[in-house]
């Protein structure tokens, strides 16, 4: 790339190159964002329909923002993005990923602003990013006061963001053969998963199909438990995408016992790799039985549920409630969904620390959940335990294998670096939060909960903090917003853009 440009005379270079900057495929970027916006406008018709049906007063605001988004999308797609080259270079994929992840949530603030549901622009940005990154941290203390259409819209943003915004484009844009894989990687960086189908677009379509199916099943299940339609829609969107927005200030406690069980089950499912769910539903169970990540997920899930049930039991809950609550809590934490049933008393410290660890570990790779991802944790643990053996036997050769496939050392190095960055981000974020007046444990928990896209957690409440993000100052909200985005894009896409090396030509 560089060699080609160096031969050109200075005057022949375009302005970016003259400044020593790289040339970007802006047209393709505009086209992608435009398409995303058009789809987004289309998706807004659902909340609009709910709004029209319930006459909640948000119809015009929603319709208006949908139209604006549509116009913007059409402009970008047909005008700014016309004659785009459908070719992506490695380093452009990061840029596009980040731009899409900035543009869409920013456009997504429109409904909040137009309905006047949120007080300030900062709040709207926070809420919108929290939605699209499936974090579920909310500045709305009493969601039931918002118009129902807006609630559905809010939950829908999570659902759209659940599988990743670009994954949608990849599925739709068959022409983008060259860069699709890179976009996919930039968004799901380094999860190294086996594709469902040799053709990326086909496997992505399958993922979306399974996602849609699970959502529909969940809506029906919730309706069967006599949940009102709007609540069922919202909660299903929040659960399946592991978001965590709720429709009522009492959270999911408004549900019946059966409804809670449904939510628990689907939280548990959404912490699992979508590819495995696909195989499960297409009855190819043989592969599933061998998947180490699934094993680990199950072991950790039931073990920690058991331990926390034990803890709750020892402080006076009867077994039924203790187990019920533990299952719900652990499923919510591991899938980084972030629903909670208020239970401020009798938390053992063991449960607190365990919760914190689970928050950081997060869900399976390839699921909608956040966190470091179990697959990485497995590889690291295997590597570290090998390392101890290697200290004793320096000349022995060890390979880390997951699912029988050897993992090469470059990849392990990347994971180590990822974990280092993750911790560095949490520490850095927590530092800014302490500047805003949070205590140290609160700051660390909040930073961890948001970078893992968990959102609210009873953990924060139990350490003396507040779940009410509304009370935080603007700086804290922006920091948390950045952390959510960083966590969702798995850090590297964000870091790459921020590094000077990226902007240098050639």
Partner 1 sequence: MLMVEGTLILSCLIPAIHFADGTVLPITLSGLFTFCVGLLLLVRYRRANRSADKRTSYLLVVTMWVVLPIFGALPFLATGVLHSFSDALFESISGITSTGATVFSAVEWLPSSILLWRSMAQWFGGFGIVLLVLALVPSMGINKYSLYTAEASGADNTGKQTTTMSSSIQQTLGIYLLLTTAFVLALWKSGMHVWDAVNITFTSISSGGFSIYNNSLERLTHGQQYITALAMLLSGINFAMLYNFFTLRWDRLHKKLDQLTFYLIIYLVAATFVTLALRFKMGYDWSNSLRCGIVQTISVLTTTGALAADTQQWWVPITFLFVVLSLCGGMAGATTGGLKAMRVLILVRNVRKILRDKLHPHAVNPVRLNHKPVSPDIITNVMVIFLVYAIVIFIGIMLLMLSGINATESIGAVIACITSYGPGLGLSGGFGCYADFTVPAKLICSFLMILGRLECLTVLIIFTPAFWRK
Burial class from Cβ neighbours inside 10 Å (0-12, 13-18, 19+) for residue 19 reads exposed
Cβ at position 463, least distance to partner 1 in Å: 5
Judged by CB under 8 A, the residue of 29, 255, 358, 443 near partner 1 is: 443
Determine which residue in the list 181, 258, 441, 473 makes contact with partner 1, applying CB under 8 A.
Answer: 441
Q: Does residue 380 belong to the site contacting partner 1 (CB under 8 A)?
A: yes
* Contact between residue 81 and residue 13 where contact means Cβ atoms under 8 Å apart: no
Q: At what angle do helices 229-240 and 148-162 cross, to 10 degrees?
A: 20
Please identify, among the stretches 145-153, 162-170, 332-340, 427-435, the one whose residues bind partner 1 according to the rule CB under 8 A. Answer: 427-435
Give the footprint of partner 1 on residues 88-117 (CB under 8 A): 90-91, 94
- 281 within 8 A of 213, measured Cβ to Cβ: yes
How many CB atoms are located within 10 Å of the residue 265 CB? Answer: 15
Among 145, 391, 397, 404, binds partner 1 (CB under 8 A): 391
290 binds partner 1 (CB under 8 A): no
Stretch that binds partner 1, among 155-163, 328-336, 347-355, 469-477 (CB under 8 A): 347-355
Of 49, 213, 421, 474, which one interacts with partner 1 (CB under 8 A)?
421
Residue from the set 74, 431, 468, 478 that interacts with partner 1 by CB under 8 A = 431
Is 350 an interacting residue with respect to partner 1 (CB under 8 A)? Answer: yes
* DSSP letters for 12-80: GS-HHHHTTBPP--HHHHHHHHHHHHHHHHHHTHHHHHHHHHHT-S-HHHHHHHHHHHHHHHHIIIIII
Element (H, E) at 440: helix 440-451
CB of 384 to partner 1, least distance (A): 6
* Rounded least distance, CB 114 to partner 1, Å: 37
In sequence order, the β-bridge partners of residue 405 are 402
Which of 10, 392, 397, 404 is in the footprint of partner 1 by CB under 8 A? 392
Give the residue among 243, 231, 53 at the shortest CA–CA distance from 143: 231
**Footprint of partner 1 on residues 161-200 (CB under 8 A)?**
none
What's the Cα-to-Cα distance from 492 to each of 18, 374, 425, 450, 452, rounded to whole Å?
Answer: 28, 18, 12, 17, 15
Q: Does 452 bind partner 1 (CB under 8 A)?
A: no
Stretch that binds partner 1, among 5-13, 240-248, 348-356, 474-482 (CB under 8 A): 348-356
419 makes contact with partner 1 (CB under 8 A): yes
Give the integer Cα–Cα distance in Å for 286 and 403: 13
- Using CB under 8 A as the binding rule, whether residue 40 contacts partner 1 is answered as no
CB nearer to partner 1: pick between 205 and 386: 386
Q: At what angle do helices 148-162 and 59-74 cross, to 10 degrees?
A: 40
In angstroms, rounded to a whole number, what is the distance separating the alpha carbons of residues 56 and 189? 41
Question: Among 53, 220, 420, 471, which residue sits at the site for partner 1 (rule: CB under 8 A)?
Answer: 420
Residue 202 binds partner 1 (CB under 8 A) = no
Angle at which helices 45-54 and 26-43 pack, to 10 degrees?
A: 20
Give the separation between CA 419 and CA 384, rounded to whole angstroms: 14
Contact (CB, 8 A) for 191 and 185: no
| 406, containing H or E segment | strand 405-406
- The binding track of 477-506 with respect to partner 1, each residue x by CB under 8 A or -, is ---------------x--xx--x-xx----
Per-residue mark of binding to partner 1, 52-91 (x: CB under 8 A): --------------------------------------xx
Whose Cβ is closer to partner 1: residue 268's or residue 422's?
A: 422
Q: Is 307 in the site for partner 1 (CB under 8 A)?
A: no
Q: How far is residue 426's CA from residue 444's CA, in Å, rounded to a whole number?
A: 7
Closer to partner 1 at the Cβ: 283 or 501?
501
CB 458 within 8 A of CB 329: yes
- Regarding 430 and contact with partner 1 (CB under 8 A), the answer is yes
Query: Applying CB under 8 A, does 347 fall inside the site for partner 1?
Result: no
Secondary structure of 348-378 as H, E, C letters: CHHHHHHHHHHHHHCCCCCCCCCCCCHHHHH
Distance between CA atoms of 54 and 230, rounded to whole angstroms?
A: 10
Task: Give the count of residues interacting with partner 1 (CB under 8 A).
Answer: 51
* 408, 439, 471, 475: residue in contact with partner 1 (rule CB under 8 A): 439
Nearer to partner 1 by Cβ, of 60 and 420: the residue is: 420
Residue 414 found at the interface with partner 1 (CB under 8 A): yes
Closer residue to partner 1 in complex, CB, 63/311: 311
Q: Which of 121, 389, 399, 471 binds partner 1 (CB under 8 A)?
A: 389
Cβ closer to partner 1: 106 or 411? 411
CA distance 428 to 401: 33
Task: Give the range of 30-38, 57-65, 261-269, 416-424 binding partner 1 by CB under 8 A.
Answer: 416-424
Please state whether beta strands 405-406 and 401-402 pair in parallel, antiparallel, or not at all (unpaired).
antiparallel
Return residues touching partner 1 (CB under 8 A).
Answer: 90-91, 94, 349-350, 352-354, 357, 380, 383-385, 387-394, 409-410, 412-414, 416-417, 419-421, 423, 427, 430-431, 434-435, 437-441, 443-444, 463, 492, 495-496, 499, 501-502
């Amino acid at each position: 790339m560089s060699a080609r440009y160096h031969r050109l005379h200075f005057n022949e270079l375009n302005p970016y190159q003259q400044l020593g900057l790289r040339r970007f495929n802006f047209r393709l970027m505009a086209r992608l964002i435009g398409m995303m916006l058009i789809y987004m406008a289309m998706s807004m018709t659902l909340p609009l329909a709910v709004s029209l049906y319930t006459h909640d007063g948000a119809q015009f605001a929603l319709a208006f923002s949908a139209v604006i988004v549509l116009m913007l999308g059409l402009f970008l797609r047909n005008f700014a993005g016309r004659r785009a080259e459908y070719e992506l270079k490695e380093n452009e994929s990061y840029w596009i990923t980040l731009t899409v992840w900035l543009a869409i949530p920013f456009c997504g603030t429109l409904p909040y602003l137009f309905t006047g549901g949120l007080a300030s622009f900062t709040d709207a940005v926070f809420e919108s990013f929290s939605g699209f990154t499936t974090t579920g941290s909310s500045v709305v203390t009493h969601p039931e006061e918002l118009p129902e259409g807006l609630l559905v819209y809010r939950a829908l943003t999570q659902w759209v963001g659940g599988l990743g915004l670009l994954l949608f484009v990849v599925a739709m844009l068959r022409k983008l053969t060259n860069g699709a894989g890179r976009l996919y990687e930039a968004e799901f960086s380094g999860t190294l998963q086996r594709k469902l189908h040799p053709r990326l677009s086909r496997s992505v379509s399958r993922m979306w199909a399974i996602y849609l199916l699970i959502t529909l099943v969940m809506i029906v299940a919730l309706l069967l438990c006599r949940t009102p339609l709007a609540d069922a829609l919202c909660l299903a969107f929040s659960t399946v995408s592991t978001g965590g927005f709720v429709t009522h200030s009492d959270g999911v406690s408004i549900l019946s016992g059966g409804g809670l069980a449904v939510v628990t089950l689907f939280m548990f499912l959404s912490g699992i790799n979508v590819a495995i769910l696909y195989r499960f539903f297409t009855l190819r169970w043989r592969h599933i039985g061998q998947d180490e990540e699934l094993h680990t997920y199950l072991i950790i899930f039931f073990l920690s549920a058991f331990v926390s049930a034990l803890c709750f039991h020892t402080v006076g809950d009867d077994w039924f409630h203790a187990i019920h609550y533990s299952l719900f809590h652990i499923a919510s934490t591991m899938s980084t969904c972030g629903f909670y049933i208020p239970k401020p008393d009798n938390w053992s410290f063991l449960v607190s620390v365990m919760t914190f660890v689970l928050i950081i570990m997060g869900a399976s790779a390839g699921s909608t959940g956040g966190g470091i991802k179990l697959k990485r944790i497995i590889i690291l643990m295997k590597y570290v335990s090998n390392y101890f053996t290697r200290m004793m036997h320096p000349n022995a050769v060890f390979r880390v294998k997951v699912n029988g496939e050897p993992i090469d050392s470059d990849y392990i190095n990347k994971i180590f670096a990822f974990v280092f960055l993750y911790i560095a981000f949490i520490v850095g974020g927590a530092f800014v939060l302490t500047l805003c007046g949070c205590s140290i444990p609160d700051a660390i928990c909040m930073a961890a909960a948001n970078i893992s896209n968990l959102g609210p957690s009873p953990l924060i409440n139990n350490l003396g903090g507040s779940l009410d993000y509304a009370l935080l100052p603007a700086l804290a909200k922006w920091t948390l917003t950045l952390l959510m985005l960083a966590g969702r894009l798995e850090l590297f896409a964000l870091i790459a853009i921020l590094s000077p090396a990226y902007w240098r030509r050639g």
